[in-house]
Amino acid sequence: MQSFFPPQRPLVLGSTSRYRRELLQRLRLPFEVTAPDVDETPQPGEAPPALALRLALAKAHAVASQYPEAVVIGSDQVADLAGHPLGKPGNHERAVAQLGMMSGHTVIFQTAVAVVCHATGFEQAELAAVEVRFRALAEDEIERYLRAEQPYDCAGSAKSEGLGISLLDAIVSDDPTALIGLPLIRTCRLLRAAGIILP
C-alpha cells in the first residue's frame, strides 16, 4: 500500500515524560523517545518563562547531538506562582506545600516546546502560558486529592486531566494540551516549519 507521505527525517521526542509521549502519539507520526541529559536547576533570578524556554531548547539540543539527522522535540513546563517557579514536587510533603501555596491563587503554567535539527540548522521554540485558577483548598481536600492521584511527577502537584480538575475554578489557554505538558498546536506549527508533513 502506497504511503500518502514522502520519506521524512526521523522524529525524536527528547523527554522522559509519559504524558508528552502520549500527547505526541495523537499526531500519528512515528517517533523515538530518548531521555535528555540536562541539568534543570534554575539560574539565579531566572524568570519561569525564560527557564521553561531555556530547558526546552537544552533538552532538544542534548538529544539532537545524539541524532543529528533527526528532528528533535524538547519541552519543559514550569508552574509560575507570582514569578516564583514551582517544579515537580517529587514527594508527598512537597506536593502538600505546593498546593497549599497555590490555594486560592492563579498560577501560570509556562509550557515551552522546542524543535531542533542539527543537520539542517533548524531551531525554533515557542511558549504557551496557561492560566490556572485554584479554588481555596482545605487541608483535608489537599490530603485526599494527593492520596488519590499521587501527582508527584507533575509541575504544580495536580493533574487537570484527572481528579485534579476538582481543585480548580478555571483554566484559560489557547493551546489545550499545554497544561498536560506538550502544546500540540505549537508543536505542529514548529514541526511543519522543520519540514515534517502532518496529516
Catalytic positions, written as ranges: 76
Phi/psi class of residue 70: alpha, beta or left (left: φ > 0; alpha: ψ in -120 to 50)? beta
Sign (positive or negative) of CA dihedral 40, 82, 170, 93: positive
E strand or H helix that includes residue 28: none
106 is written with which cell numbers? 492563579
The CA–CA distances, whole Å, from 54 to 39, 142, 147, 181 equal 11, 32, 33, 16
